[in-house]
Structure 1
């Protein structure tokens, strides 16, 4: 079947709220030239990520290279290839990492996307496109947090804050698959899900500020790392970490930025900057602080894919929307009530 020259795609036209900046177009060009070591993927499903709507809100057009299709995560089939191991028709999943998306002006809320080989892998037969579509960006963020930044090993213990987020749920599954003990914190309403995902211990952060609880109930042995999967603006969990994290331990965070535009959140951000930059010999926090900058890494992606194939990692889906209902999907993810991935079914949508 001949690949069409035009496609439907949700295009980000300007900076702003998704409801104001996104427009569904039916005449967006399908890439016709496939560079070496790239594939053209026919998208079956795409998952939304917080980084998607946050960049829409804060990044001006000249930085974000707009207009371009929205989002990064996908599952689909190989439509065309050039110099890769894939065959046409192979089911795949992956993510177009943010810097690559800006450079190539590709996105996954579209019927087709041009993807570098480094960003895509074969989809195992034990997972469908809907559940595979949201694996990669959050999954690799969790993977690199655990192993590239915290350098955790089997037999050690990690504390996962924001355990019911997509990154948190993947961090639990990956850590358990690698023989790492997991203590996890989330709202009490998500306790069952977090424990079902594999957490050894659960702490409800809504009952008491988490740094106060951990200071008065220090683990033994102390945590070898803390993964902040929520992206705290308040530095308290890090600032008091010497009480519950072992010397040499690493505090790893995803997005330690304001979660709204308020004086409290902006103030917390400056407090975090001070806590991170103040040297320990002057009374600063005597523990390492690292911010995750996700990088495309084929070896990480393949190792992650193997755990999916073994059934040790599953995609947790909150909700599924049709292509015509993308704005409703953004309402869901921006509500902070989604547990798991918000997915858009692209193929077959009207």
Structure 2
């Protein structure tokens, strides 16, 4: 089968198409013919080795995490799916890739594709949806009437997280450029700061939580807008010791990650704020719940651009520019 792979970690990972064997199906897996694969910023970070100590691949490895497609075979222990089912899933942190003609998907990671979405729309959902769901509902415990700040609201995570927070009854603040104000307002953002004109920490106040989505000094600045007792859940780091412990990493990595997050944790503690790094996990049952929101129209996919399969590498290059309004998707079949 044809797949987009990388051969090594580092500045020259040798990303390109390769003809590889179809995945060998395990008893608890589905063999899926992939119709579309969503791409995410971490897909550009993995080959250069950013998460090499945490994410484990056998090289050469297939790139990508999100997919939507049709089940063509099921393992002997599979009970929830059958050949012909249309599913969507995230393979993130499973040592597998999605930018390929076929993928082996653990039953626990898959859910039936929302009936009102096509494959391209469905493939745009899994990672941003699961990340938002787990961060807002599990880590922040976001409640109706609370105020949540989500910077970079027009990006892949931002466009979904704003909608989910709005659905949960929260007031949402975000940052965008002038041209994207209307987009995020339509998704449910309440306070919108044009980052080209104002610094968000000079404008926003009284927030209960921050979803960290932007690198640089944005996490530190966000401490200024939070109430005492507020929470920062970061998706972009720095990694912390709690994450290393949850991943059952060795003592050295636990120490290193603890040191990496020491400054932000110290600053947060002084203000009575908690800091945590969040790493998304695949979860088919959560995707099924999210699917209900999508089918009802209460949340909708936001897609910036669709690339054909033979331009998969160009899709990753485009995403790396950081200009996408919503998600970038590769149409495979």
Indicate the larger mover: 248-257 or 329-338: 248-257
Match of 1:333 in 2: 319
Structure 2 residue 109 is matched with structure 1 residue 126: no
1:16 deviates by 3.8
Residue pair 1:119, 1:298 contacting (<8 A) in 2 also: yes
Poorly superposed stretches of 4+, deviation over 6 Å: none
Q: Any residues of structure 2 matched to 1:199-238 within 5 Å, and which?
A: 199-214=189-204, 218=205, 222-238=206-222
Q: Any residues of structure 2 matched to 1:10-159 within 5 Å, and which?
A: 10-16=4-10, 21-26=14-19, 28-32=20-24, 34-59=25-50, 63-82=56-75, 83-98=78-93, 100=94, 102=95, 106-159=96-149
Residue pair 1:150, 1:249 contacting (<8 A) in 2 also: no
Q: Residues of 2 paired with 1:128 and 1:141: CA distance?
A: 21
1:299 deviates by 3.5
Check 1:163–1:232 CA distance in 2 against 1; reply closer, same or farther (3 A cut).
Answer: farther
Structure 2 residue 283 is matched with structure 1 residue 302: no
Residue pair 2:163, 2:188 contacting (<8 A) in 1 also: yes
**Larger RCO: Structure 1 or Structure 2 (Cα < 8 Å, ≥ 6 residues apart)?**
2
Check 1:125–1:344 CA distance in 2 against 1; reply closer, same or farther (3 A cut).
Answer: same
Q: Any residues of structure 2 matched to 1:166-315 within 5 Å, and which?
A: 166-214=156-204, 218=205, 222-240=206-224, 244-256=225-237, 273-277=262-266, 280=269, 284-315=270-301
TM-score (norm 1): 0.82
Q: Residues of 2 paired with 1:233 and 1:37: CA distance?
A: 43
Q: Residues of 2 paired with 1:279 and 1:161: CA distance?
A: 18
Check 1:223–1:338 CA distance in 2 against 1; reply closer, same or farther (3 A cut).
Answer: same
Match of 1:161 in 2: 151
Residue pair 2:220, 2:264 contacting (<8 A) in 1 also: no
Residue pair 1:47, 1:133 contacting (<8 A) in 2 also: yes
1:245 deviates by 2.0
Match of 1:4 in 2: none
Residue pair 2:213, 2:234 contacting (<8 A) in 1 also: yes
Q: Residues of 2 paired with 1:201 and 1:278: CA distance?
A: 25
Q: Residues of 1 paired with 2:208 and 2:266: CA distance?
A: 21
1:200 deviates by 2.0
Task: Give the 3-state SS of the residue equivalent to 1:199 in structure 2.
Answer: coil
Extract unaligned runs of 5+ from structure 2: 240-258
TM-score (norm 2): 0.86
